[in-house]
Amino acid sequence: AEVHLRFLLNPVGFETEDGSSLSHVTCERTRLVGDAGSQSAEGTGEMETIKAQLALVSIGYKGVAIPGTEEWYDEKRGVLTNTNGLIEGSKENLGGLYVSGWLKRGPSGIIGTNIADAKDTVASILQAVKSSSVDPKKGSKSVYETLKDKGLNPVDWVAYRRIDTEERNPIRKRSEFQPREKITSLEEQLKVAFSN
């Protein structure tokens, strides 16, 4: 058996010859653009087909726009456009909206990357509060009450713990080695969160 590592290719299609098993992966050739240290891959339009019987997903999932943030969503990168976590243009409309994680930078990195990323966003929030460009509110209780006043049912810590417990349930897992099986459906998340 041989393993070939190919770089600067983006899988865009998985094909079958018999209708039931993988036979080919179609990839778009990419090139790196941008300054060293902050480059990203950009499609060239050139396609290549590779014979394959197995494909493994080994990268994070592309972010999707949260309702109400569509104007700041970059469809190609799967991120909300931002500077150090502050969503560009949101100060005028919302007084400041912040983002962290994959929705901030795209599906890359590890848990440690998310921690550094979150610290960067928090630093932006603290700087905005310090400079009085953001009006600090009373805290999470005020946010919770505001959402309830708008007829929304926010997920509090107790409800989140129900989701966390369900995701860690051994019955959900596809393998005994995985720590959890994420609930990806918002409808199912809310059903679990508000069950008793």
- Cα(51)–Cα(58) distance, rounded to whole angstroms? 19
CB 182 within 8 A of CB 169: no
Average of per-residue pLDDT across 145-149: 82
Rg, C-alpha atoms of the chain: 21
| The pLDDT of residue 1 | 64
The region, left, alpha or beta by phi > 0 then psi within -120 to 50, assigned to residue 72 is alpha
How distant is the alpha carbon of residue 124 from its chain centre?
Answer: 20
For 55, what's the count of Cα atoms within 13 Å in the CB-facing half-sphere? 19
H or E segment at 192?
Answer: helix 186-193
Highest mean pLDDT range out of 46-55, 60-69, 137-146? 46-55
- Cα(87)–Cα(93) distance, rounded to whole angstroms? 11
- Cα(184)–Cα(179) distance, rounded to whole angstroms? 15
| The pLDDT of residue 102 | 86
- 89 confidence band (pLDDT: 50, 70, 90): confident
- Cα(9)–Cα(50) distance, rounded to whole angstroms? 11
Asked if residue 137 has pLDDT above 70, the reply is no
Rounded to the nearest 5°, which phi and psi values hold at 69? -115, 10
